[in-house]
A = this chain, B = another copy of it.
Amino acid sequence: MIPIVCIVGRSKSGKTTLIEQLIPEFIRRGYRVATIKHHVANFEIDHEGKDSWRHKKAGAQTVVISSPKRVALVEDVSQDFPLDELAARFIREADIIIAEGFKRDRHPKVEVFRKGVHPHPLASELENLIAVVSDEPLQMEVPCLSLNDVTGVVDIIEERVLSKHRDR
Q: Quick one: CB contact mask for A13-54 with B, threshold 8 Å, 1 for yes?
A: 000100111011001000011111111111111110011101
Are A70 and B61 in contact, with the CB atoms below 8 A? Answer: no
Are B34 and A64 in contact, with the CB atoms below 8 A? Answer: yes
Are A64 and B80 in contact, with the CB atoms below 8 A? Answer: no
Q: Which residues of B contact A23 (CB under 8 A)?
A: 55, 58-60
Tell which of B16, B32, B39 touches A66, judged by Cβ atoms closer than 8 Å.
Answer: B39
Which segment of A88-96, A135-143, A152-160 sits at the interface? A88-96
User: CB-nearest residue of chain B relative to A15?
Assistant: B51
Q: Taking A44-B47, A51-B16, A55-B23 as contacts, is the C-beta distance between A91 and B64 under 8 angstroms?
A: yes
Q: Is A124 located at the chain interface by the 8 A CB criterion?
A: no
What is the interface residue range for chain A against chain B? 35 or more
A contact set with B: CB distance below 8 Å: 16, 19-21, 23-24, 27, 32-47, 50-52, 54-55, 57-81, 86, 90-91, 93-94, 98, 100
Cross-chain pairs A/B with CB under 8 angstroms, 26 sampled: A19-B54, A19-B55, A20-B58, A23-B59, A24-B58, A33-B59, A33-B61, A34-B64, A35-B55, A35-B60, A35-B64, A37-B55, A37-B65, A40-B68, A42-B69, A43-B67, A43-B70, A43-B72, A44-B47, A45-B52, A55-B98, A62-B93, A66-B86, A67-B80, A68-B79, A71-B90
